[in-house]
Structure 1
Amino acid sequence: MNIDKYKNLRYRLMETEDWPLEYMFKFIAPNHEGNVDRIKAFLPRDGKITFKHTPNLKHVSVTCIALMDSADEIVEITEKVDEIEGVIVL
């Protein structure tokens, strides 16, 4: 894993003084091999999760809006999901 990959995200989030804050995670995943379930496992349990499939059902957009306590918490979730093969982090 590239430790500096989300350095800019963490920096921008740390500039925010309003914690906790509502954050929107957004990922696109191939619609196979349990990818959606794997993503859901990393997302906050109390988050509002929505799904949107591409017309050919090959990919799924996963959006989660959740109240987050820190920049580190957001980056940690994003890094874990990014390790799932084929997932695009938006």
Structure 2
Amino acid sequence: MGKKEEDFYQRLKEELVQSTLWPAEYLYKFIVPTDDTKIAQVQAAFNNMGAVINTKTSSKGKYTSISINVRMKNPEAVIEKYLQVGEVEGVISL
């Protein structure tokens, strides 16, 4: 992980600690190229967590947005999931 990425996640962690009482619901949003394998990889990261997952394909069908609402125990767990999903090729975290 590069310095820029580390700074981003450190800032996110601080904001989550200050703004939220944990455990809490957290909404993840990702964009992936429309590819069943990549979509499944993102969804698999949230298996057995009681996540509510919604997908929507872009108008031209090139990309799929994935919204995942899930109860997370703390800011570290939130960031862990971002890092895990970030390993999926072509994924963009919003």
Same fold (TM > 0.5): yes
Q: Secondary structure at the match of 2:76?
A: helix
Tell me if 1:10 matches 2:13: yes
Q: Is 2:67 the partner of 1:51?
A: no
Alignment of structure 1 residues 22-37 onto 2, 5 Å: 22-32=25-35, 34-37=37-40
* Number of residue pairs aligned between Structure 1 and Structure 2: 90
| Gap change, CA 1:60 and 1:14, over 3 Å in 2 | same
> Match for residue 91 of structure 2?
87
**TM-score, normalising length: structure 2:** 0.86
Question: What are the ranges of 5 or more consecutive residues in structure 2 without an aligned counterpart?
Answer: none
Counterpart residue type for residue 31 of structure 1: T
Inter-CA distance 30–18: structure 2 relative to 1 (3 Å threshold)? same
Please tell me the residue identity of whatever aligns with 2:10.
K
Q: TM-score, normalised by structure 1?
A: 0.89
Runs of 4+ in 1 over 2 A off after TM superposition: none
Q: Which moved more, 1:8-17 or 1:52-61?
A: 8-17
How much has 1:16 moved relative to structure 2?
3.5
Cα RMSD, aligned residues only = 1.6
Match of 1:70 in 2: 74
- Cα deviation for residue 33 of structure 1 reads 5.9
CA distance in 2, matches of 1:14, 1:75: 12
Structure with higher helix content: 2
CA distance in 2, matches of 1:89, 1:57: 19
Cα distance in 2 between the residues matched to 1:25 and 1:89: 8
